[in-house]
Amino acid sequence: MKIIHHQRQIYPDSVREQELLVATVLAGQAPSTLILTEHPPTFTIGTSGSEADILHRVVGGENIAVYPTGRGGEVTYHGPGQLVCYVVADLRQLPDLHRHVWRLEEMVMRTLADLNIDAVRDARGIGVWVGGLKIAAAGVRCRKWITFHGIALNNNPDLSHFSGIVPCGMHDQPVTSIKQLGVNITRDELEELLIHHCNQLFDPLLVPPLSML
């Protein structure tokens, strides 16, 4: 898995980068890639989302950009302190989006386990949850079995910004972060853990059969 780091990107630049990577992976000119980045305060609207779920475009005196996006899911927030993990993965030999989302969630869950945080999946929706609160939101898109978009892990974002939306269709806004759970970790330290688990989970020889997911 190739790794790309960005300190911060505006959302449209990130989408353009992923689109280019999808084309190069599809052409056999690049390997599967993990992009680690952050965005300025941003609301994105997935294919199941609606402008009606944008409640406020100014939160705490800060203007928050809004972008429609081709990923699955509803409306979510990105911002400083949230580590966004975009996975451009070639699924042509293993064409299963359910398995891919499972791996994204598992990558985050194993990372949180390293921090002694008990994270789980939840029937309320895809992503990763701790104590009934969502700590990571996932949304993916697939083109000719090359995936892009991914999962966003709340390390230490401004959680008040979530009040500007109905996050992932949940009106009670049940979100949390690593910081709110009492764990302090730098982005570099968090990336190191995530990369370790990403390399393990996205090695096709190590992925469990669907019956085990």
In angstroms, rounded to a whole number, what is the distance separating the alpha carbons of residues 68 and 45? 5
Q: Does this model's pTM top 0.85? A: yes
CATH of region 2-205: 3.30.930.10
Question: In this predicted model, which residue has the larger pLDDT, 21 or 209?
Answer: 21
- As to burial, measured by CB atoms within 10 angstroms (0-12 exposed, 13-18 middle, 19+ buried), residue 187 is middle
The model's confidence at residue 193, banded by pLDDT at 50, 70 and 90, is very high
Rounded percentage of the chain residues whose pLDDT exceeds 70? 94
Domain locations along the chain: 2-205
In angstroms, rounded to a whole number, what is the distance separating the alpha carbons of residues 54 and 43? 8
Return the active site residues.
168
The model's confidence at residue 72, banded by pLDDT at 50, 70 and 90, is confident
Of 150, 134, 127, 124, nearest to 32 (Cα)?
Answer: 150
pLDDT in the model for residue 205: 45
What average pLDDT does the structure give for the chain? 93
- 97-116 pLDDT, tens per residue? 999 999 999 999 999 999 99
